[in-house]
């Protein structure tokens, strides 16, 4: 068996300690960080952690298949929308593939027996190992002496006597070890997982209730702006500051139309078909979130990204809005769009989004 492993690196203390214990036994360690675009763990800390350990780090995005895992987890949810057991299985399946790719012999994680109620009790740990296809090859160095020996231990590749017997939710032993080994700057366990946050979970539930094929992009958008559910397949997102306005514009794509005022107001991203009604609704929401003193009188000018089809082809924008105009300023492909302010504000209810 090769003296080489893949270690899941989250940016947290436990994964750094687990990898360090392997390095101290002269085992080659390849770090793997799985990124969720909507925020989990801390990529910067994972990179710093790998650098401090002196190991290579592969960063991979979880991909749209992970959204299906969140939508229908075989083993259910934790306190919010966190499917921790299924999440670990998904991640370890990827780790197994990466292990095979780099020619490593086993996978290492910083899981601690009894630390988390859902995924780190004995039964879930067994399920995770079995369902990920890593039976005998998933080493948890921090709790190894409480667990059945793994193949690398049985084959003498890893010295079991030098592994630990940590269990439970107390962090004292890890903190003492971190001090002893000079490990600093790591984050707390699950500190950044948005799926454990009730506020974020409400938005996820609304997304799943209305979208049959949500993607990682839809999940990422849940972290940006105020969300208004204005139809079964239509949502309008309003930026809360200039950074979010730019981010919404960056998400403009087929099926996601960004309407950005040429006056000092927020950008709106129409997620769904940008019909005349949807654009009118977006304008109404933009005006509702624009200071009175900044609202222009008369005709309103916007950049639309991507440009409506007619405008993109060089013709007039829909809705009788006039010619496309120059394609710059509001975004790489933005087109100028003009409209009259609505006679009366259109009400948009944040239906299904309890924390809009």
Enumerate binding residues for ligand SF4 (CB under 6 A): 40, 82-84, 87-88, 119, 190, 193, 195-196
Nearer to ligand SF4, 19 or 40 (CB): 40
Nearer to ligand SF4, 118 or 252 (CB): 118
Residue 200 CA to residue 304 CA, distance in Å, equals 28
Closest separation in Å from C-beta 201 to ligand SF4: 11
Residue 323 CA to residue 34 CA, distance in Å, equals 45
Residue 201 near residue 80, CB atoms below 8 Å? yes
Q: Which residues pair with 301 in a beta bridge?
A: 338
Nearer to ligand SF4, 195 or 258 (CB): 195
Nearer to ligand SF4, 94 or 336 (CB): 94
Helix/strand/coil percent split, the chain, to 5: 35, 20, 45
Angle between helices 43-53 and 13-23 (to 10 degrees): 20
Closest separation in Å from C-beta 83 to ligand SF4: 6
Closest separation in Å from C-beta 328 to ligand SF4: 40
Closest separation in Å from C-beta 152 to ligand SF4: 24
Nearer to ligand SF4, 194 or 284 (CB): 194
Report which secondary-structure segment, H or E, holds 96: helix 84-102
How many Cα atoms occupy the beta-carbon half-sphere of 100 within 13 Å? Answer: 7
In degrees and rounded to multiples of 5, residue 223 shows phi and psi of -90, -5
CB-CB neighbours of 148 under 10 Å: 11
Closest separation in Å from C-beta 173 to ligand SF4: 21
Residue 152 near residue 141, CB atoms below 8 Å? no
Closest separation in Å from C-beta 321 to ligand SF4: 44
Closest separation in Å from C-beta 81 to ligand SF4: 8
Sheet with 28-35, edge to edge strand ranges: 57-61, 28-35, 4-8, 106-108, 138-139
Nearer to ligand SF4, 193 or 252 (CB): 193
Residue 73 CA to residue 339 CA, distance in Å, equals 46
Q: Cα dist. 338→153, 179, 226, 293, 301 in Å?
A: 69, 62, 24, 20, 5
Nearer to ligand SF4, 40 or 339 (CB): 40
């Amino acid at each position: 068996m090769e003296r080489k492993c893949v270690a899941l690196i989250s940016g947290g203390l436990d994964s750094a300690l687990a990898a360090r214990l392997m390095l101290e036994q002269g085992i080659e360690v390849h770090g793997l960080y799985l990124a969720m675009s909507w925020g989990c763990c801390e990529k910067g800390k994972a990179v710093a952690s790998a650098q401090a350990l002196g190991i290579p780090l592969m960063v991979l995005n979880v991909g749209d298949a992970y959204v299906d895992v969140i939508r229908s987890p075989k083993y259910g949810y934790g306190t919010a929308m966190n499917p921790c057991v299924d999440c670990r299985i998904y991640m370890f399946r990827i780790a197994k593939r990466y292990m095979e790719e780099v020619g490593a012999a086993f996978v290492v994680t910083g899981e601690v027996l009894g630390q988390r109620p859902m995924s780190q009790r004995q039964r879930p740990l067994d399920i995770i190992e079995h369902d990920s296809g890593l039976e005998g090859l998933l080493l948890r160095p921090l709790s190894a002496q409480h667990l059945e020996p793994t193949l690398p231990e049985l084959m003498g590749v890893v010295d079991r006597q030098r592994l630990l017997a940590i269990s439970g939710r107390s962090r004292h032993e890890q903190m003492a070890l971190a001090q002893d080994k000079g490990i600093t700057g790591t984050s707390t366990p699950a500190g950044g997982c948005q799926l454990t946050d009730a506020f974020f979970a409400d938005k996820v539930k609304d997304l799943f209730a209305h979208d049959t094929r949500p993607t990682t992009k839809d999940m990422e958008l849940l972290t940006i702006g105020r969300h208004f559910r204005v139809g079964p397949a239509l949502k309008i997102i309003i930026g809360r500051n200039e950074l979010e306005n730019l981010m919404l514009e960056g998400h403009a794509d087929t099926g996601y139309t960004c309407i950005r005022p040429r006056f000092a107001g927020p950008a709106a991203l129409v997620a769904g078909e940008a019909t005349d009604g949807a654009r009118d609704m977006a304008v109404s929401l933009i005006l509702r979130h624009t200071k009175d003193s900044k609202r222009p009188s008369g005709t309103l000018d916007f950049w639309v990204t991507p440009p409506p089809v007619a405008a993109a082809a060089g013709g007039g924008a829909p809705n009788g809005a006039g010619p496309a105009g120059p394609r710059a300023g509001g975004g790489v492909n933005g087109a100028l769009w003009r409209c009259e302010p609505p006679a009366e504000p259109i009400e948009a209810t944040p239906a299904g989004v309890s924390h809009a």
